[in-house]
Amino acid sequence: MAKVKTKFSCTECGYESPKWYGKCPGCQAWNSMVEETESIVKTQGMGSSLLTHSTKDKPLPIIEVESGKEARILTGIGELNRVLGGGVVPGSLVLVGGDPGIGKSTLMLQTSNELALTGLKVLYVSGEESVRQTKLRADRLGALSPNLYVLCETNLETIEEAVDSLKPEFLVIDSIQTVYLPEVTSAPGSVAQVRECTSRFMRIAKGLGIATVLVGHVTKEGAIAGPRLLEHMVDCVLYFEGERHHTYRLLRAVKNRFGSTNEIGIFEMAESGLREVANPSELFLSERPLGVAGSTVVASVEGTRPVLVELQALIAATHFPSPRRMGTGIDHHRMGLIIAVLEKRMGMFLQNQDAYLNVAGGVKLDEPAVDLAIAVSIASSFRDAPTKPYDVIFGEVGLTGEVRAVSRAEQRVREAEKLGFKRVIMPEKSLKGWTHPKGIQIIGVATVADALAAALD
């Protein structure tokens, strides 16, 4: 007979224990241990269980292993292809996470339809919506390819039977938290269910060569719900980000075994579904005010794509002993560092001033090349001196007030020229090694003082 055993598993690292802990001994996370029940069946010959998965492959020297590029399946959506590294790899397991209502199901249904239009057989499994609801969404999106098959099911064994009979080239599971395995006694969405179901889908993807996409819910902290082990099992983890009050969405890769993790895809939400944004810089700068103190344009690079965004700073006198330092879309610790440099090296008295910094449009910038634009924005607001409306600024700022070189300077400058900007203020050391375009003035600076003199003169 099966013996029921109770254990506690950590939702962050998968650590298992026979008793509950307030603090996980494995990853030191608080309140992450949840109770699970499992059935144990006594069998004979367990000592030879490892041999059941053995293969005839022998260890090979790495120099004898044949190397080659992975075959790619173009999804028909350029932004998604960019984030994935050139397309979907057959047999790969991709995890897509995002806030509720952000557009994960819409993106996956549009991707499934585009692949089905190329002649591929696609199976879309929905565990949250009925077939009729999925059809209503497909009518709105125009996703009506005859090669797109829809299944409303949460039982993993039934899904496996459908995959075995249909033999699709592309499989979407929406969402992994709703799928359950009858052999596991835990409820759907629990740590044990998510872990076991993902393991089964991984074997399906690798064994049958089916490109599989799992849609996952996220917690209130923004992480994908379920055990942290889930992100380690898949080949690619994508986060679909955006604000409900904005029409655009960002698709960002945080793990990719077949490509870069620095790429982003930008979409605009419309009534007919998600539309690709071919020129994100123009979108982010469309509502930029001209001749306003504290507003600057910075050239940032996301992966291989240069993006121009607006930085807005507001410096106001504080009525509290400790001034506030708030940043939206930027690391506030980096913001505090730049303020300290301006106080020490430029003589600006900011200790009695509140500082607010915002990246317009809700974009998140985390590269050091935005340091110089932050410094110019803060100085512009503090002195109430507007910057020139057609200037682009980028560069890394050191603690001694120097401006350091940044990568991909040529791409940043050419993106600024394409959008009609007249001047670029950039690190002096980044001027070498490439041909400067003639349609834009380039000013190289070595210190923050030089940059302020050029931008606020």
Known binding-site residue numbers for ATP:
98-105
In the structure encoding, which two tokens stand for residue 50, read together? 């490892």
Nearest to 112 by CA among 213, 216, 235: 213
User: CA–CA separation, 449 vs 186, rounded Å?
Assistant: 63
Residue pair 211/72 in contact by the 8 Å Cβ criterion = no
Residue pair 92/214 in contact by the 8 Å Cβ criterion = no
Number of H helices, E strands in the chain: 11, 21
Rg from Cα positions in the chain: 26
- Look at residue 446 and give its three-state secondary structure: coil
- Summarize the annotated binding site as residue ranges: 98-105
* CA dist list (Å): 130 to 43, 136, 156, 182, 347: 40, 10, 17, 21, 64
Residue pair 372/425 in contact by the 8 Å Cβ criterion = yes
Cross-strand bridge partners of residue 36: 7
User: CA–CA separation, 126 vs 133, rounded Å?
Assistant: 10
DSSP 437: P
User: CA–CA separation, 216 vs 173, rounded Å?
Assistant: 9
H or E element that contains 315: strand 305-317
User: CA–CA separation, 88 vs 120, rounded Å?
Assistant: 13
- Look at residue 61 and give its three-state secondary structure: coil
User: CA–CA separation, 84 vs 261, rounded Å?
Assistant: 9
Nearest to 155 by CA among 132, 122, 175, 127: 127
In the structure encoding, which two tokens stand for residue 34, read together? 């949840």
In the structure encoding, which two tokens stand for residue 383, read together? 């002195």
Nearest to 137 by CA among 145, 129, 127: 129
**Residue 84 neighbours by CB under 8 Å, 6+ apart:** 75, 94, 236, 238, 253, 256, 258, 259
The angle at the Cα of 452, spanning 447 to 454, to the nearest 5 degrees, equals: 100
Name the pairing type of β-strands 170-174 and 122-126. Answer: parallel
Q: Is the dihedral of CA 170, 173, 174, 176 positive or negative?
A: negative
**Residue 319 neighbours by CB under 8 Å, 6+ apart:** none
